[in-house]
Amino acid sequence: MTSPDTLARLEATIAERRSADPQSSYVAKLNARGLGKIAQKLGEEATETVIAALTEGREALVGEAADLIFHLVVLLSAKGVPLSEVMAELDRREGVSGIAEKASRPKV
């Protein structure tokens, strides 16, 4: 079932699976390999998403985007950052144009 709770359920599953057996859990396997490996996978999935957007069809893009979001949630979980914190940051930005925000930055 897809709903606004999808990410919350994924976050809870990832938290639960972190300490599972790496032989049977991809989340546990990634965590056992460390933050560097998780970050590397996130980078790879970002690249694959870009390639799919530029050269592949809709189905491939959806698949790569799902891989990207999954690995981002794994990374945030490994760093102890709850998704709610990221959502709160997006809420804070709501309604503020990216153009206006950039223009308001202190000049360096």
Ligand X SMILES: N=c1c2ncn([C@@H]3O[C@H](COP(=O)(O)OP(=O)(O)OP(=O)(O)O)[C@@H](O)[C@H]3O)c2ncn1[C@@H]1O[C@H](COP(=O)(O)O)[C@@H](O)[C@H]1O
Interface residues with ligand X (CB under 6 A)?
A: 10, 13, 17, 25-28, 67, 70
Alpha carbons 34 and 29: distance in angstroms, whole number: 9
φ, ψ dihedrals at 57, nearest 5°:
-85, 180
Query: For residues 64 and 52, is the Cβ–Cβ distance under 8 A?
Result: yes
Minimum Å gap between C-beta 91 and ligand X is 25
Residue nearer to ligand X on the CB measure, 13 or 91:
13
For residue 90, the one-letter residue type is: L
φ, ψ dihedrals at 89, nearest 5°:
-65, -40
Minimum Å gap between C-beta 23 and ligand X is 10
Residue nearer to ligand X on the CB measure, 72 or 86:
72
Residue nearer to ligand X on the CB measure, 47 or 101:
47
